[in-house]
Structure 1
C-alpha cells in the first residue's frame, strides 16, 4: 500500500488522491470530466475546482474548466467545498480491507478503458482478490428485480454453472436475478463480483447485508462512489456501463421493455461485447424485453455451456443438443422404409407393403422378419401389422389415426 492508501503501483499518490477526491465531486460516467482528465490530468483538474472554492490557498486563481455551464460549475464548486479530504475516504475504506484502484494500477482492468471519456475515475474495491485478473474471465448475469420463480432458477443455474467452469459471475447485487446469480456462484464455491451503485461500505438493498458479506468473503464488491454515498436512480443506470465493460459478455434473464438490465445489454452492444438472452414464455411481460433483445441483437442461450461457447476460448463448445434416440432411429435404411410403409391400424399383405415401401417382395419379406425379431411388427395369418410398442415409436403423440 502507498501512503495514500491505494494499491502499490506506478500511480503517484497525488494522482490517486486527486481521483479519489473527484469521486466526491463529479457523478460517475460524466464525459465532460473524462475530457478534463485527458486534457489537464487529475491533479490540475482538482486544483482548478478547489481554487474556485477559495480554499486552495494559491496566490493566483485558476481558470474555470471548459465545457460546462456556469450553474453546473457552481454546483461542482459547492460539492468540492463540502467534500471531506480524500485521505479520510482512503483511510475509511482501508479499515474495511478495501482500496481505491486507479487507471495505471496493476489491478486496473484495462477493458474499462473501452468506455473512453465515460471511464470510471477509479474503483473502490472491497475483497481480497485481484479485480483485473478476475475480470479477464468474467460474464455478467443480470435481469429483473421483480422476477418470477423461473427467473430465480435460471439466474442461480447460470451463476453456478459458470462458476463451476471457472468463470467469474458479475452482477449488481440487487433483488431478483442479480441476487440469484450471486448466490448460484457462491453456492458452487465460485467467484462473483457485485458492482454497487453506492459506496462499498454501504449495503443496498438493506435486505442483502448477509449476501454482500458473503460476496466480500468469497469475491469482490466494487463501486465508483466514495464511502458512505447513497444510490440514486441515475447511479443505477450509470453503474450498468461498468458491469458491461468489465465482462466478456452480458446475459439477460427476464427483463421487461423498460428494464435497467436492458441498459447493461445496450452498453455491451456499444462496447462490442457478447450479448445473450434467456427466453421465457411469450405471454410473460417480464420476458418481453429479453425477446425484443433476442430478435434484434442478442444470442439465445439456455445454460452455462452455451454462454461459455460464445464468450470462451476456442474449443470451449457446448454439447450438441438433440432429442432422444428412439429404437427406430437405429434401423438400417431399408428396414426403416418397410416399417414406415406399415399403416398404424390393421394387418396388411406383403405385396401391399412392398408397393408402399418401393421394394421387391422378397426383400420386403426379409425385412419384415427382421423387424419382427426386433419387436416392431407381428404376423397375423398372411398379414403383418405394427406392435403396440412400434406404434408408440413410429408415431408421435396425437398422430395415430
Structure 2
C-alpha cells in the first residue's frame, strides 16, 4: 500500500531511509514501548505496574523473563499494587507465564518500520506531544499510541467525544448532524471510534463541516495497518488523510471485544466531554460513558423516544448517573465549558452504580431483558473466548499466543467455556461453539463483532 504523501509521523522518529528502510533514530525507550504494546494486553494491571515502577526499558527485560526484579524492586512493586510481598510474587509468576507466550514473537523495529511505510508512527509518554490528559488514567494509561495521519492530537479542552448506537436511527443521525456540524465549524475536534452508526456519522459530519481543520480523530481497537470495520475503509481513509487514527494495539493486532472495551477508556480520556446520542440498554457507548464518569469528564446524553430501543441506554444513563441532559448544540457548548477542569474522581462507577470496568456494560439487564451467556464472562474468560476461532478448530499452541495465556492457565478457562456452552473441543483442538458463534455473527464477523461494542 502506498502511503499518502502528505502524512508524517507524530512520534518524533525520522522516516526510514530508502536504502535500509529502517528508522534513523534508534530510540531505546520507543523500541521498548513498541515491543510492550505487542507483549501485553490492555488492562493487564500486573504488567502495567511493572512498567510504571521500573520504566519501559527495564520492564521489558523483566516481563520477558530475562532478569528478575531485585528485592528492593519487588518491595516497590508490591507497594505500588497494594499487595503483600507473597501476593505480588504469585501475581508476577502468573504474569510471566502469560507474557512468555508472546515474548519470542517481539519485533519492535519491524513494527515501527511497518507503520512508517504506512505514513504513521508511535507516540510515547516520553514525547512532548504526548496527551497529558491520558495520565488521568493512572496505571491504566496506554503504553504508547500508534498513529496514522498528518494531524496532531488536539487540545483536550476543545475535543468532544461522540458515541452511540451502531444501529443508528434517522432521529439519531439527525441529532448528531445538528450538534456536530456547528461545533466542527467552530474548531471543536470530534473524536469517536470509527464504528458503524453514530460514530461514523459523527466523523462524516465533522469532515464536511470542519473541512479537515481541526481534524477528526478515530480511536481504533486493532492495528492501524488495516481499517476496521471494513465497510468504513473509505471513511477511515478520509479521517486518516485529514486527521488522525490512533490505537494502542500494534500492526497486525485484531480488534476483539476485550480490546474494544479497553479502547473506550481512551475515547473518554482524550476528550473534555463525552456525548452519547443513542445507546441500547447493553452497549459499548454506556461503557465509554462509565469511563467518562470515572475520569471526571463531563457526560452529556441525548434523550430519545421512550419507545425506541436505541435510546433505552440513554434513558438509563440519565436516570442512574449525573449525566447532563443535552437537547441542542448550546447544551454541548456548556458541556465543553464545564469540562475545562477535568480530572479523575476518587472512585468510578458505572451506569447502575457498579464499579467502572471494561465489562461494566454487561451488568444484568433489568426489565426482563435477557443477557447473553458471554456477557457474564470474566476478563480472563473473555480473552480466551475472543481468541477462539469460529470455524476451524485451533491448537492449544495457537490459542496460547492469541490469548496471551500459557497452557496450564488456558485449559481450565477453556473447560469453563465448554461447560457454559461457549467452546467446543475436538481432538485437543478448540473453536467457538457454533451456537455462540452464530449469536455474534451477523455483520462484520464473530470474534470482532462490533455491534456488541457500539450499541
TM-score (ref. length: structure 2): 0.63
Mapped to 1, the partners of 2:61 and 2:96 lie a distance apart of: 14
What is the deviation of 1:254?
0.8
CA contact (8 A) 1:145 1:176 kept: yes
Matches within 5 A, 1:95-174: 95-131=117-153, 133-174=154-195
Please say if residues 118 and 148 of structure 2, whose CA atoms lie closer than 8 Å, have aligned partners that are also in contact.
Answer: yes
Q: 2:44 maps to what in 1?
A: 30
In 2, Cα distance between the equivalents of 1:78 and 1:34?
17
Q: Is the 8 A contact 1:157 1:181 kept in 2?
A: no
Partner of 1:183: 204
Q: CA deviation at 1:48?
A: 1.6
| Residue 272 in structure 1 maps to residue 296 in structure 2 | yes
Q: How far 1:152 sits from its partner (Å)?
A: 1.9
Is the Cα–Cα contact under 8 Å of residues 302 and 314 in structure 2 kept in the other structure? Answer: yes
Equivalent position of 2:105 in the other structure: 82
What is the RMSD of the two structures over their aligned residues, measured on CA atoms?
2.4
Structure 1 Cα separation of the partners of residues 204 and 337 of structure 2: 22
CA distance in 2, matches of 1:88, 1:159: 39
Deviations 1:141-160 (A, max 9, x none): 00010121111222233222
Deviation at 1:94, TM superposition (A): 0.8
- The Cα shift of 1:136 comes to 4.1
- Structure 2 runs not aligned, ≥5 long: 1-8, 15-24, 78-87, 340-455
Whole-angstrom CA distance in 2 between matches of 1:276 and 1:258: 18
Q: 274-283 vs 40-49, which deviates more?
A: 40-49
Equivalent positions of 1:4-83 (< 5 A) are: 6-7=11-12, 13-50=27-64, 52=65, 61-63=67-69, 67=88, 68=91, 70-83=93-106
Q: What's the CA shift string for 1:95-153, capped at 9, x where partnerless?
A: 1111100112111100000000000001011111211x344410000001012111122
Deviation for aligned residue 1:281: 0.3
Judged with a 3 Å threshold, the aligned counterparts in structure 2 of structure 1 residues 142 and 305 are, in CA distance, closer, same or farther, namely same
Q: 2:315 matched to which residue of 1?
A: 291
Separation of aligned partners in 2, 1:313 and 1:274: 7
Aligned pair count reads 301
Contact in 1 for aligned 2:134/2:269 (Cα 8 Å): yes
Q: Deviations over 1:275-323 (max 9, x none)?
A: 0001100111210110121123211112323201221389xxxxxxxxx
Classify the secondary structure of the residue corresponding to 2:147. strand
Q: Which residue of 2 aligns with 1:262?
A: 286
Q: 1:330 maps to which residue?
A: none
User: How far off is 1:13 after superposition?
Assistant: 1.4
Change (3 A) 1:34 1:121: same
- Structure with higher Rg: it is 1
Contact 1:155–1:178 under 8 Å retained in 2: no
Per-residue deviation, 1:47: 0.8
- Any conservation in 2 of the 1:18–1:43 contact (CA below 8 Å)? yes
| Structure 1 contact 160–186 (Cα < 8 Å) conserved | no
* CA displacement at 1:28 relative to structure 2: 1.6
Q: Deviations over 1:218-272 (max 9, x none)?
A: 1110000001111000110000000000000000011112110011111111111
Pairing partner for 1:306 from 331, 343, 348: 331
The whole-number CA distance in structure 2 between the counterparts of 1:278 and 1:136 is 21
User: Normalising to structure 1: TM-score of the pair?
Assistant: 0.71
Task: Using the TM superposition, give the Cα deviation of residue 6 of structure 1 relative to its aligned residue in structure 2, in angstroms.
Answer: 3.8
Structure-2 separation of matches of 1:305 and 1:228: 41
* SS of residue matched to 1:140: strand
Deviations 1:178-207 (A, max 9, x none): 001000101112421000000112111100
